């Protein structure tokens, strides 16, 4: 009886090891949102120098296609030792009618940027705008491009 119980326990442990949960991907952009009409104007006018925070897209590279789920990482560049106001961070999917993606990244915000290890994004080229402010109210904006290959 004890041997049988031991085998059942070992079998359950082996099954648990084989089926160990991995980080689940989270939807950044839905297929329905990706099918919305494109924005007629995704350019961004820049006016001179700014003292506001900078933004750098780390991953994925804006010029190379990747498969979904993808690693989505953006670094905030702090200027003048003034930290970012996390409540000011807004991520907008640029479509004819813009889609606010801010709630989907809230749990991935860090003082240094956005770190989303498994973002689900449908195939295609997606253009996002990231807006933020520092604690002194100075703003920064960047266009982020995601190129996602088919599965």
Q: What is the percent of the chain with per-residue pLDDT over 70, rounded to a whole number?
A: 78
| Assigned domain for 17 exists | no
DSSP 23-75: PPPEESS-HHHHTSPBPS-------S---S-EEEEEES-TTS-BPSSEEEEEE
pLDDT tens-digit series, residues 30-86? 999 999 999 887 665 555 556 889 999 999 998 889 999 999 999 999 998 999 999
Neighbour count for residue 3 (Cβ, 10 Å): 7
Q: Residue 137: name the closest of 94, 85, 63 by CA.
A: 85
Burial letters 116-139, b for 16+ CB under 10 A, else e: beebbbbeeebbbbbebbbeeebe
Residue 113 lies in a domain: yes
Task: Point out the least confidently predicted range of 19-33, 62-76, 112-126.
Answer: 19-33
The pLDDT of 16-23, averaged and rounded, is 45
Does residue 15 belong to any structural domain of this protein? no
Portion of the chain with pLDDT greater than 90, in percent: 69
Position 108 pLDDT exceeds 90? yes
Is there a domain that residue 3 lies in?
no
Look at the chain and report how many structural domains it folds into: 1
Asked if the structure places residue 104 within a domain, the reply is yes
Closest CA to 101 of 89, 87, 83: 89
* Domain assignment of residue 39, yes or no: yes
Enclosing domain of residue 61: 24-148
Name the band, by pLDDT with cuts 50, 70 and 90, for residue 25: confident
Which residues on adjacent β-strands are paired with residue 95? 38
């Amino acid at each position: 009886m004890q041997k049988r119980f031991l085998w059942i326990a070992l079998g359950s442990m082996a099954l648990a090891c084989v089926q160990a949960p991995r980080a689940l991907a989270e939807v950044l952009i839905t297929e329905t949102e990706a099918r919305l009409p494109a924005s007629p104007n995704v350019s961004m006018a820049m006016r001179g120098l700014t003292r506001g925070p900078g933004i750098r897209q780390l991953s994925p590279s804006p010029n190379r296609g990747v498969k979904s789920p993808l690693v989505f990482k953006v670094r905030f560049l702090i200027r003048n030792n003034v930290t970012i106001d996390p409540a000011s961070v807004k991520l907008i999917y640029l479509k004819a009618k813009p889609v606010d993606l801010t709630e989907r990244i809230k749990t991935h915000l860090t003082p240094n940027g956005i770190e989303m290890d498994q973002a689900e994004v449908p195939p295609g080229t997606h253009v996002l705008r990231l807006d933020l402010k520092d604690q002194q109210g100075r703003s920064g904006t960047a266009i982020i491009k995601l190129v996602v290959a088919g599965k």
